[in-house]
Structure 1
Amino acid sequence: MKMKKVLMVGLSLMCMAGVLAGCGNSSGSSDGNYEIGILQFANHGSLDNCREGFLQGLKEEGIEEGKNLTVTYKNSGSDMATDNQIASSFASKDYDLICAIATPSAQSAYNATKDKDTPVVYTAVTSPKLAGFVDDNNKNVGNITGTSDLILADEQLKLIKDMMPDVKNVGILYSTSEVNSQSGIEAYENAASKYGITIVTQGISSSADIPMATDSLLKKVDCITNLTDNTVVSNLPTILDKANKAKIPVFGSEVEQIKNGCIACVGIDYVKLGNQTGKMAAKILKGEATAKDMEFETFNAGEIVINTKVASDLGITIPDSVQSSASQTFDSVASEE
């Protein structure tokens, strides 16, 4: 019987539907054909970009959808119970590789395959250690590896200080159930004193908490900065609407948030992050490497992105030094076009 290879890609930060059956192992396919499943935790642009980059990375390594690759997507809609069910469904098949993109889906996929020999590849996981994927020495704790999107807190706070010299209190909304947000907050708190800034946090347990939590936070801060928190990013329009009315700027964590109305960020390019992950997955699928022996990789080449329309609407002047160093500049808001 021809062996099937299925790569589960857990996208925390978007996809379509479908579950694939199959059987296989962690070495390369005997006939060079692969089946890939993509599990996504939430619907937002960061994760869409991650998925796009992931497939690009595979293609660049000779694994291309429609040729030697079949792809099926699943989206849990930011619901952990659904996420776990999808992961369990995928894990019940003898898939060759599970790539989990974003922390919640990565944890679901990892937990679902602990008793199997299925390798797991993750991406958009802020802290592999807090997520439980590596030990204190950053060694993989199982047949799992991937890429991290650790927040560039120091660089982001410098950007905020450059644009708002009098800033004192920077707010962060976060989901108490997402361990990736805990590591992001820690990074901000460690860097804050360097800039004379106090980090003010506001936790939420679900999307329903966003309106009230945002109102509460806006009363205490000079601006808000986003993490890569999936629940928060999925509710960005609500947050921006309230912040704009209060004339409080919201700094994003990646380019899609700037397109959609955040003022600026030193952020990660999630297409590039996904691409990096795809190349790692290709090595595993081809049998050139094993997940358990492949160290996780970080992506720390942050880029400044600004939105001049948002700055103008809020009455904030972007310094020439920031404008000249920006890799991308937007002069409109996508949702208003």
Structure 2
Amino acid sequence: MKRGLGVISLLVLSLILLVGCGSEDASGSEESVTVGITQIVEHPSLDAATEGFKKALEDNGYVEGENIEYDEQLAQGDMNNAQTIAKNFAGDEVDMIFANATPSAQAALNATKEIPIVFTSVTDPVGAELVTSFEEPGDNITGTSDTHPDAIPQTINFIVDEIGAKSIGVIYNSGEQNSTVQVDTVKEALEGTDVELVEATVSTSAEVQQAAESLVGRADAIYVPTDNTVVSALEAVLGVAESEQIPVFAGELDSVERGALAGSGFSYEDLGYETGEMAAQILKGDKDPSEIEVSYPKNLKLVINKEAAEKMGVEIKEEWSEKAEFLGE
């Protein structure tokens, strides 16, 4: 009988140890977490931000397949899809939502006031009603803005002073709150000049080429803000610009690499990485979202694409090297 009780006790002890080990994964963490990633559309800048986000979490000990899982969803540029994705994440009770771009962040906040949300690639978090202020975000949300206050003025000043444009065309989706804010900033930068702003609005990426064509003969240069609809179809703008010899300027550096003439910006991967650092603090329980201030990129630079300049008939001035970096050297 004593021997039988001993065997039973050993089995019970083994079961307890087995259950205890099951609560930890291979990395030794308490348990695995799930992060829902919602991204409004696929294009290089947003993709780079997502990669930076995941890299930061990995550097903080969250290794995919070991103690963290990602549920990545693309909304294909459709706000209704973004809302469905966010509601599904809330229903699944994921541990965190990473919202990449303004529409995705708005949808996430509409879906939950409890699950922590970190956002990136948002132009105007306050105007989009995501946070009360940069210093005091909401109870369950914080993140990074992709707008440096000097970025648009620096680019517009270059177009006016160095290119000598008397009219600037801007292509944007008037339904994107982040885009209308940028167009307003362009208007402010042009105050006091005699330069005309020519607006061409779109609602889908399929309309981008027609919008670009509508600017031919009306604009000396084209400015493309960080508009997800337009940037996802940037090649359509570049095709028109190159054939008509109209210089194109961009609101972020990935578009300069893709063929725009120039733009002021920063690395979206760095921006996503900074967001991932915020996420790590929240997942570890070190801070709540409300305790982390919203931030924006600090390292702003003007970059000129020499190959694009040649295609668009723009002569590179030697003195530009004092204020810009060059691609194609």
Q: Determine if contact 1:158/1:195 at 8 Å carries over to the other structure.
A: no
- CA 1:197–1:97 in structure 2 vs 1: closer, same or farther (change >3 Å)? same
Residue 191 of structure 2: SS of its match in structure 1?
Answer: helix
Partner residue in 2 for 1:313: 311
- Within 1, Cα distance between the matches of 2:56 and 2:198? 38
The aligned counterpart of 1:253 is: 251
- Distance verdict in 2 for CA 1:137–1:73, change over 3 Å: closer
Runs of 4+ aligned residues of structure 1 deviating over 6 Å after TM superposition are 1-4
Answer yes or no: is 1:70 the counterpart of 2:69: yes
Q: CA deviation at 1:30?
A: 7.0
Distance, in Å, in 2 between the alignment partners of 1:209 and 1:315 is 25
Q: Deviations over 1:268-292 (max 9, x none)?
A: 2101111111101110011111112
What TM-score do you get using the length of structure 1 for normalisation?
0.83
1:43 aligns with 2:39: no
- Residue by residue over 1:110-164, the C-alpha shift from the partner in whole angstroms, topping out at 9 and shown as x without a partner, is 11113xx111110000000121112368632441110001151111112323540
Amino acid at match of 1:125: V
What is the distance in 2 between the residues matched to 1:67 and 1:327? Answer: 41
Query: Match of 2:301, as an amino acid?
Result: E
- Matching of residues 1-337 of structure 1 within 5 Å: 31=30, 33-114=32-113, 117-135=114-132, 139-150=136-147, 152-164=151-163, 166-193=164-191, 196-330=194-328
Report Cα offsets for 1:58-77 as digits up to 9, x if no partner. 12222232442222211111
Q: Secondary structure of 1:91's match? A: helix
Which range moved further: 125-134 or 301-310?
A: 301-310
Tell me if structure 1 keeps the 8 A contact 2:35–2:98. Answer: no
1:52 is matched by which residue type in structure 2? E
Deviation of residue 211 (structure 1)?
2.7
> How many angstroms apart in 1 are the aligned matches of 2:162 and 2:298?
22
- Is the Cα contact below 8 Å between 2:123 and 2:147 reproduced in 1? yes
- Deviation, structure 1 residue 40: 1.3
Q: Is the 8 A contact 1:169 1:200 kept in 2?
A: yes
Q: Give the AA of the match of 2:316.
A: I
In structure 2, C-alpha distance between the alignment counterparts of 1:212 and 1:195, rounded to whole Å: 28
Q: What is the SS of the residue equivalent to 1:130? A: coil
- Closer, same or farther in 2 for the Cα pair 1:67/1:140, shift >3 Å? same
Equivalent AA in structure 2 for residue 224 of structure 1: I
SS of alignment partner, residue 109 of structure 1: helix
- Flag structure 1 segments of 5+ consecutive residues without an equivalent: 5-28, 332-337
Cα-to-partner distance string for 1:188-209 (whole Å, 9 max, x where unaligned): 1111135653332222222232
User: Match for 1:126: what amino acid?
Assistant: T
Q: 1:127 to 1:155 in 2, by over 3 A?
A: same
Tell me by how many angstroms 1:328 deviates: 4.8
Aligned-residue sequence identity (percent) comes to: 35
Q: Secondary structure at the match of 2:190?
A: helix
Q: Higher helix share goes to which structure?
A: 2
Change (3 A) 1:243 1:53: same
For residues 4-63 of structure 1, the C-alpha deviation after alignment (integer angstroms, 9 at most, x for no partner) is: 9xxxxxxxxxxxxxxxxxxxxxxxx97053222211111110111111111122122222
Distance 1:328 1:111 in 2: 42
Distance 1:154 1:327 in 2: 17
- Contact preservation (8 Å) 1:264, 1:306: yes
Counterparts of 2:267 and 2:256, CA distance in 1: 12
CA RMSD in angstroms comes to: 2.3
Deviates more, 1:266-275 or 1:300-309: 300-309
Deviations 1:176-198 (A, max 9, x none): 11100011111111111356533
Cα distance, 1:253 vs structure 2: 1.9
Q: Highest CA radius of gyration, 1 or 2?
A: 2
Hey, what's the Cα distance between the residues in 2 that align with 1:39 and 1:55?
A: 13
Structure 2 Cα separation of the partners of residues 66 and 154 of structure 1: 44
Contact 1:159–1:265 (CA<8 Å) still a contact in 2? no
With 73-82 and 321-330 compared, the bigger mean Cα shift is at 321-330
